Structures are given as C-alpha cells and as structure tokens.
Amino acid sequence: MDSGQRRSWCRALTIGGLVALLLCCGWGESASANLLSNGGFEDGDTGGINGSGVPTDWFAWGSESGWHHDDAGKVIDTKAIKFWWDDTGVWQDFTVTAGEEYDFSVMALSVSGDPLIGWNGLLKAEFYNSAVGTEPGDVLASVEVDRYYSASDPLDEWVDVGGVVEAPAGADIGRIILKLADWQSTVGGSLNLDEAGVVLVPEPGTVCLLAFGLVVGLRRRRA
C-alpha cells in the first residue's frame, strides 16, 4: 500500500470512527428522545379510562369504554391501555417546531381470546398554535397517521403502528390521539395499546456534517 492509499484509508477510518463515537456518546439517543411523558402507560392507577384509570400525563374523553390495565400477556412492561368502543380515547400534547418532522408510533395488540372485530385502532396527530388555543376549533392540521387493521393485522403479536408527520406553519404544540375508529356492521373485542412515542426526525446529514467538522479540525491540528 503506497502513502496515498494509506492516507485515504486512514481518512475513511477516522470519519467512520468519529461517526460511531458520536452515536455512542448519545447523539443518536438525544435525537430520538421520546417527546411523550409516560409513553408506556406505566404510571397511574389501573381502572376505567376517563375515571380513576387515566394514565399519568395523559388526558381522556368518553364513556369509559377503555381500561388502564396490568393484564398478563397484554402488556409490554407492566401496564397498557385498551379500548372496546369508539366513544373513549386518550391524548397528550408536546412541544413542536413548525417545519420539523415527527415520527408518531404506538404498539397494538389484539388477542385471540378477545379479538378486535369491526373496529380499527387509530393513531392520529393534531397540531395547534398555543397563542390561538388547543380546542377542537383551533386545530391547524389533523392527520390520521396509521391504523391497526382488525381484518388483516395479526392476532397475538404486537404490531407497530405509526408514521412521520411534518408540523405545519405556525404550530408549536403537537398532539397524539389514540382511539378506535371505522365502526363496521359487527363489532366486538378490544385492542391493547402500549409504548406510545413521538420523536423528532433528525435532519439528513446532521451527524455527517458534525463528523466532517471534527475531521477538518483534526487535519488542521496535524498540519
């Protein structure tokens, strides 16, 4: 290997090492931090949703057609929520920046002993401007991000429901909404939800630009 090849190899190794170092030192972790509090529904008493069983840091509406529970085999950690009618749901607000993209997600489980029939699970995103308000009439944008489809998604395994949404102009508050939707002719069963999350999608090349800046700095010090 001649000197030019050695320099090229060392330069590639340095860049790769620096990117790996940035990720190990928490760059990736900070970029993917969950913007929701209690996204796993671990905090708060179990019970009827919109009654005593509203998970901590979440809000609810409806007629208690849902439950905050710790049923074995229907949770990822120790607690989850479930719905069996579309008159009850939960939501949580978080801070956003207009023009940024956010990855919304929740895990959904329908079990063969109580399969969801005639409903779909709905993950919805809404955006607001705090100076205007956060009532339904103040919404800047409303997006049905993704669904758990009872007719086609598998039973007895957790299904990842989610998608990426851009915060519209003027938005500084985002909202995640979890509920049932799409009432069909025959309905029954329930849907369990756990590990809800919203994360900021980092700008492409952000890590690479930072790594490049460090490489330039190293080359200048060596000069």
Task: Provide the pLDDT for residue 11.
Answer: 46
**Three-state secondary structure call for residue 45:** coil
Task: Provide the pLDDT for residue 15.
Answer: 45
Task: Provide the pLDDT for residue 205.
Answer: 60
Task: Provide the pLDDT for residue 60.
Answer: 97
Which residues are 198's β-sheet partners? 104
Task: Provide the pLDDT for residue 64.
Answer: 85
Q: Are 180 and 119 in contact (CB under 8 A)?
A: yes
Q: Which amino acid type is present at position 157? A: E
Residues 180, 183: Cα–Cα separation, whole Å: 8
Task: Provide the pLDDT for residue 221.
Answer: 44
Which residues are 180's β-sheet partners? 121
Residues 114, 76: Cα–Cα separation, whole Å: 18
CATH superfamily assigned to domain 34-200: Galactose-binding domain-like (2.60.120.260)
DSSP summary character for residue 55: P
Q: pLDDT 10s per residue in the chain (223 long)?
A: 554 544 444 444 344 544 444 444 444 444 579 999 999 999 999 999 988 899 999 999 998 899 999 999 999 999 999 999 999 999 999 999 999 999 999 999 999 999 999 999 999 999 999 999 999 999 999 999 999 999 999 999 999 999 999 999 999 999 999 999 999 989 999 999 999 999 999 987 654 554 445 444 444 444 4
Q: Are 178 and 90 in contact (CB under 8 A)?
A: yes
